[in-house]
Amino acid sequence: MPILGFLLRSTNTRNSFEAYYAFSEIANSLIGSDAKVIFSSEWDFSPITYPMSFPALPSYVLLGMPSLESANALVLPLAGHELGHSVWLNEDLESRFAPDVDEGAKRFIKANWAHFIEAFDEHKDRQPTDEELADNMFIKLTISDISQLALYQIEEIFCDAVGSHLFGQSYALAFHYLLAPSLGFDRALEYPTLQNRAEFIAKFGGINLADHGLSNFSNEFEDRWPPMTKRQQFHSSAADTIGIALAEKMFGCALDIVSRKAASFAALPSAQPGIVRKFENSVPAREPRSLPDIVNAGWTYLQSQKSGIQETDRGRIEWISELVLKSIEVLEFRNRTANA
């Protein structure tokens, strides 16, 4: 039923259909020529994806954007994160990084044995030796649980990295616009904290956020923690520690893939000033190079009009979104005619 609902909403005119062709091109480049994109809306106030492993639609990438922001072209970069999930699967990165995660879980248990005993007091007579970690079935199960949680987290970090390296500053700005300061519900432990995600984007995303008024980017976010038992706290702390340790590696891996497979689509700072000048004259870009360049120019134009974004700026955002979407249509027309 959720998939049928998703497919039904994909026909609704609230969707930014202008971006469909551009995202299809990027998906084909990153994932393969058989990848097919369905662009739709979701009632969750967060972009989501049903990755390519969905059994009934094995070669489809289903991108869902928040319904309340469907007409806001400035949040399109967040779909770069959702594409990242399919890249993760396509590249089989879980198998590649699972050994690192497993070793990280073992190191955490050894380094935090006192806290482990507090959470699992039935093991208070044990010692954190290599033999104990290898042979004790219960500890092995704990390592497995931590590793699975950490794998979820580093996948999310990798997806933020794909979005950052593909879209540049507009990914960070859209991330901030949609998710700061809080979504109003408890943090899901399968995700890194919002503050950690923001810190990773700022440190490893190759974006000088101070130039965009976000010099203390991670401080713009806050997390609500759900009630947890001591065992859940231990699992969560271990997964967070592993995610922090592997974050730079995730961003490096994403940069390598984007550079090899989608360099012609990734944001190019020198391509944006010309588009901004067109927007200043209230006309769409004439010869845009890529979707990320257009959206970056949209954010630059918005920030040049007024510092910060308030709800009263909705009309201004809609106007800039129209310029962005019309420019994306120009991009599709030029690409289709060039490839005809």
What does the pLDDT look like over 15-57, one tens digit per residue?
888 999 999 999 999 999 888 888 888 776 555 555 545 667 7
Q: Judging by DSSP bridges, how do beta strands 36-42 and 60-66 pair with one another?
A: parallel
Nearest 5°: the CA angle 41, 43, 47 is 60
Q: Sign of dihedral through CA atoms 291, 8, 184, 314?
A: positive
Q: What is the pLDDT of residue 308?
A: 55
Q: For the CA atoms of the chain, what is the radius of gyration?
A: 21
Return left, alpha or beta for 307; rule: phi > 0 is left, psi -120 to 50 is alpha, else beta.
Answer: beta
Report the alpha-carbon distance of residue 214 to residue 297 in Å, rounded. Answer: 17
CA 197 → CA 44, 58, 91, 220, 278, distances in Å?
19, 29, 22, 11, 34
Q: What is the pLDDT of residue 289?
A: 95
Q: What is the pLDDT of residue 22?
A: 94
Q: Which residues, in sequence order, are CB contacts of 204 under 8 Å at separation 6+?
A: 161, 164, 247, 248, 251, 252
Compute mean pLDDT per 10 residues along the chain, 340 residues long, and list them. 84 86 94 88 61 67 81 91 90 96 96 93 86 89 95 96 97 91 79 94 94 89 90 96 98 98 96 95 95 96 73 77 96 89
- Do 153 and 281 contact (CB within 8 A), yes or no? no
Q: What is the pLDDT of residue 76?
A: 93
Q: What is the pLDDT of residue 38?
A: 87
Q: What is the pLDDT of residue 46?
A: 56
- Do 40 and 7 contact (CB within 8 A), yes or no? yes
Tell me, yes or no, if the pTM score tops 0.85. Answer: yes
